[in-house]
Structure 1
Amino acid sequence: MNNATVLELFAAITEIDAAHSSERAVEIFQGLLRRYGLHSFLIARLPVPHDRQWHRAILHDGWRSEWFARYKSAGHFFYDPCAAHCRLAAQPFLWHQLPRGGLTPRGRLVMEEAAEFGMKDGICVPIHVPLAGPAVVTAGSDRVEVPPSAMPLIEALCVHMFRKVGLKSKSDNEEGSPLTPRERELLQWSAQGKTTDDISSILGISTNTVESHQRNIREKLDAINVAHAIVKALRRYEIQI
């Protein structure tokens, strides 16, 4: 990035950080996006494609209400090519850069209907958070004006905004010790409704070992029971549903 872009980025991040509320931060961010013709945006984590409760992963819904209602009622999330590409991509991309020949019929329908609702093109910034899985900040409009030189600026702003609305403070993240991979795996199964006996069978360990792990998890997370531990682990992004 050139000096002018760096100064613009620094000023924008400073303004967002100084915002007295998340609503004000969103207003600032939205104003910056409008400079490039981007009038609607969404900030969300990306759960597994078959997750029927995918909408719970939305951190901020700035889509047009009509489009979001259609997107949800039509089950577009399960076929959205942008969401699918974000799970694998490391770099931001414009919607029109998706390989049209590789889209499924349902994927093409998602993009065609988005255009009908005034979302003819847009940008996706994939974000990959350790332990929490993939996420995305995406924005669109009927006419996008994003020159290649602006991509690094928009990417940095989107990543910063995601952290602003989606991640806890440093003190929250440092509360307690991190879970081990085995403890996360075990708690993930608990979050999916599995009992101690179920987990014992799935992982090939004794019920005593499962209960020992659960005690360690509760102690690390300062939780009174498994359900409480699941909530705290989700908030810390140690597991996802």
Structure 2
Amino acid sequence: MENDSIGELFAAISRIDTGRSADAILQEFRSAMARYGLRHFLITGLPVPHDTAWQREILGDGWPPEWSLRYLKEDHFPHDPCVAQCRHSPQPFRWNDLPAGRMLARAKLVMDEAAEFGMREGICVPIHVPLAGPGVVTAASDRIDVPASALPLIETLCVHTFRRLSGLEASGQGSGAAPLTARERELLQWSAEGKSNEDIACILGLTRNTVESHHRNIRGKLDAINVSHAIVKALRRQEIQI
């Protein structure tokens, strides 16, 4: 059984190595992690705690879009206990290993809200890069099935994927998207402020069909599955603000 797991790990790493884009790499990573019930993930560098543009360090985003938007709006990053643990420890850990009794109320709120968005259990793999800031691959789901013997395999896969994506980013081969037009940014900004399509049409003097057409173009440019996902991606590219 262990040999089978190691064989699957090498096969996954081989497919990740041959991926020609960040999207292809992340698809293979997602598939490999799903075997352990880990459906959601984030792969990112960890800048200083009070860096308000920390999201520029993200290499791979597999979080639920609604949770990403909540995390950004509530400014959870400086208070995230997983982030704090990753800064100080090189060892992988499960979310439930964090000392809940010593968590500040704000840190506990981050974990409680993550559970509300289908991420009750998770794993973090801290990555400490020489001459650079730390990073992390975190993966979670409502329930996970990760025996202790699988943790070294998961750690290997996470570290390899992080390095592969970092290499693409450094070489300028990461997945890019066309910039939004001024009108698209304006329209998405109103959506980020909670306005409906009908509201936006009225504010901008457009028809509802035109607003919906703009939204389709925005989702296409950002490779977003819905408006919330588009807002998150635009925020991370600093094309809109909240």
TM-score by length of 2: 0.67
Q: Which amino acid aligns with 1:57?
A: E
Distance in 2 between the 1:158 and 1:134 partners? 14
Q: Which amino acid aligns with 1:94?
A: R
Structure 2 residue 27 is the aligned partner of structure 1 residue 27: yes
Shift of 1:168: 5.3
Distance in 2 between the 1:169 and 1:39 partners? 24
Look up the match of 2:75: 75
Look up the match of 1:219: none
Distance in 1 between the 2:147 and 2:169 partners? 34
- Measured against aligned partners, the alpha-carbon deviations of 1:149-201 in whole angstroms (never above 9, x if no partner) come to 110110000000001111359999xxxxxxxxxxxxxxxxxxxxxxxxxxxxx
Bigger Rg over Cα: 1
Look up the match of 2:118: 118
User: 1:163-202 counterparts in 2 under 5 A?
Assistant: 163-167=163-167
Distance in 1 between the 2:29 and 2:163 partners? 13
Distance in 2 between the 1:27 and 1:168 partners? 15
Distance in 2 between the 1:86 and 1:11 partners? 28
SS of the aligned residue for 1:61 comes to strand
Q: Which amino acid aligns with 2:124?
A: C
- Measured against aligned partners, the alpha-carbon deviations of 1:200-237 in whole angstroms (never above 9, x if no partner) come to xxxxxxxxxxxxxxxxxxxxxxxxxxxxxxxxxxxxxx
TM-score by length of 1: 0.68
Look up the match of 2:142: 142
Gaps of 5+ in 2: 173-242
Structure 2 contact 22–168 (Cα < 8 Å) conserved: no
Structure 2 contact 42–139 (Cα < 8 Å) conserved: yes
Shift of 1:20: 2.9
Q: Which amino acid aligns with 2:120?
A: K
Structure 2 residue 106 is the aligned partner of structure 1 residue 101: no
Look up the match of 2:152: 152
Distance in 1 between the 2:118 and 2:169 partners? 36
* Sequence identity percentage: 56
Shift of 1:8: 2.1
Q: Which amino acid aligns with 2:5?
A: T
Instruction: Say how many residue pairs are matched.
Output: 172
C-alpha spacing 1:88/1:10, structure 2 compared with 1 (3 Å) = same
Q: Which amino acid aligns with 2:44?
A: A
C-alpha RMSD of matched pairs (Å) = 1.9
